[in-house]
Amino acid sequence: MFEHSPARSFLIFALLMVPLMALPAKARPAPDGFADLAERLTPAVVNISTSQKVEQRGSRGPGQPPFDRFFEEFFNQRRGGQSPSQKVSSLGSGFVIDPKGIIITNNHVIEEADEITVTFSDGTKLDAELIGRDPKTDLAVLKVSSKKRLPYVPLGDSDKARVGDWVIAIGNPFGLGGSLSAGVISAINRDINAGPYDSFIQTDAAINRGNSGGPLFNMRGEVIGVNSAIISPSGGSVGIGFSIPSNLAKTVTAQLQSFGETRRGWLGVRIQQVTDELAEGLALGTARGALVSEISPDGPAEKGGLKVGDVIVRFDGKPVPTMRDLPRIVAETAIDKPVQVEVIRRGKSRKLKIVTGRLEEVSTKEEPESRSQPTPQSSDDESYIGLTMQNLSRDNRKRFELGEDAIGAVIVDVERGSAAFEAGIRPGDVISEIDQRAVGSAKAAVDALKKAKQNGRNSVLAFIRSGQTVRFIAIPLSD
């Protein structure tokens, strides 16, 4: 869902130092070395090579996304100018989690592979079978058959990982198998816009092309991450690497082993981030949770009593600090499980019981192009704070491609440079609610805005339909 490419440039900022009070702190001492861990763990880390037939491809254009699947150039460096039927090879890493031959790696290491070969540190080579893969989390599970019991490593609890903890990465950078690098955890729960369930562990341990799919270990020798991506202007390590947390990997790989696919929980809502401005209109106090902007008909949320405008702050006993936390929490919830959901509705806490459904993969349609054509003035125009609105009619429904289900006041003009324009409101948007109360006409919408401003409000919460999407927006009450 939610590919990676090298960052184009970096800016260096000079920071002014401010005096801080010295505070006592207990820190773990730096390890004397990693030799014992390396000797124990390296046999379970494998090199993964794949081969596939590819069509002839030209060089890549400049419009690459900001994050790089950091082995892509390494994997494909010899593709240019090849004949359509020629085989190419790729290299990556993986690790054994079960002595019976179960191996975890990245999906992008093995996707589209015709053949997968696993090489152990003692030189043993085994053909691997693909059990299942999950592009959304970039994880894949392989299986090899061996007459002997294979070395393996345990998956640890990534939730216990802390910023500053020592970690080591073992893998196959640039084809140099069995390489170890060490560093610390730089950040946790990092979102790099790689997918819908981003919650990466960031580390400064050197991770390069070929480390992909390899393990990130804590000092107890437990895998707490699956190395997956880096940020780099050159393709080499600059100390910013990302690993998929082991707790997420546990859930996904268990399902891939059991079903050959993922089976994620589904709530049946569209959500949006709660900003400070929206928090004011929602009477939340501080920005938190996930704001429900749309509910799927006959889905789990609707059946459980969830309403548009509710802010989900806790799901199945787990807090929901921000919008991006909810999809991951719901996805990891068992299907058909009754869960308690805490929401804030009109400033008051409510608890609902909702039975999760199963997420089905659906294709997404492209949003219609912006409809910003000027609209002729009409006798029912109502203008305020840079917005010109009209009652919905046959003519403006046709002009802005609005269905009969659209209710409220349609925006026909937005003054450029106004606060409303800067907030993202455009012609064709339909305001159906202000302060979570329905508005059925342009006059009702303007009256509600004026009343809020007279009451000393800086902004007002509005529910807006834009094309096929709906969202809440904080409209600034300034011209």
Q: Does the pLDDT value for residue 136 go beyond 80?
A: yes
pLDDT above 50 (res 3): no
Distances (CA, A) of 91 to 51, 88, 185, 210, 431: 9, 10, 25, 6, 53
Does some domain include residue 110?
A: yes
Which parts of 296-408 are beta strand (E)?
A: 311-315, 318-319, 338-345, 348-355, 357-358, 382-384, 387-391
Task: Say which of 212, 228, 237, 293 is annotated catalytic.
Answer: 212
Strand 357-358 to strand 115-119: parallel, antiparallel, or no bridges (unpaired)?
Answer: unpaired
Q: What is the percent of the chain with per-residue pLDDT over 70, rounded to a whole number?
A: 82
Say how many domains are in the chain. Answer: 4
Confidence of residue 144 (pLDDT cuts 50, 70, 90): very high
* Position 398 confidence tier, pLDDT thresholds 50, 70, 90: confident
d(CA 272, CA 274) in angstroms, rounded, equals: 7
Backbone angles phi, psi at 229, to 5 degrees: -155, 160
Q: Which of 284-288, 363-367, 403-407 has the lowest mean pLDDT?
A: 363-367
Is the predicted pLDDT of residue 375 greater than 80, yes or no? no
Q: Residue 419: in which H helix or E strand, if any? A: helix 419-422
Q: Would you give the distance in Å from CA 317 to the centre of its chain?
A: 21
DSSP label of 360: P
Say if residue 165 is in the same domain as residue 140. Answer: no
pTM for this model (two decimals): 0.68
218 plus 270 within the same structural domain: no
The verdict on whether 4 is a catalytic residue reads no
pLDDT tens digit sequence for 164-210: 999 999 999 888 888 999 999 999 988 887 778 888 999 999 998 88
Tokens of 4: 């990676």
Residue 394 has pLDDT above 90, yes or no: no
DSSP one-letter code for 68:
B
**Which helix or strand (DSSP H or E) is residue 473 part of?**
strand 469-476
**pLDDT above 80 for 348:** yes
Q: Give yes or no: 108 in active site.
A: yes
Q: Do 249 and 273 fall into the same domain?
A: no
* Contact status, residue 438 vs residue 244, Cβ threshold 8 Å: no
Sign of CA dihedral 103, 105, 107, 111: negative
| Domain assignment present for 373 | no
Domain at 303, CATH number = 2.30.42.10
Catalytic residue among 68, 134, 138, 204: 138
* CA–CA dist 347, 339 (Å, integer): 22
b/e per residue, 179-214, with b = 16+ CB within 10 A? Answer: bbbbbebbebeeebebbebbbbbbbbbbbbbbbbbb
Pairing of strands 87-98, 102-105: antiparallel
Given 97, 122, 144, which residue is the final one in a domain? 144
Which domain, by its residues, includes 192? 158-259
CATH code at 242? 2.40.10.10
Q: Please tell me whether residues 165 and 255 are part of one structural domain.
A: yes
The predicted pLDDT at position 283 comes to 84
Same domain, 162 and 77: no
Residue 357 has pLDDT above 60, yes or no: yes
**Which range, 6-20, 289-303, 352-366, 460-474, has the best average confidence (pLDDT)?**
289-303
How sure is the predictor about 250, in pLDDT bands with cuts at 50, 70 and 90? very high
Catalytic residue among 4, 5, 68, 108: 108
Q: Is the pLDDT of residue 270 over 50?
A: yes
- For residue 212, indicate whether it is catalytic: yes
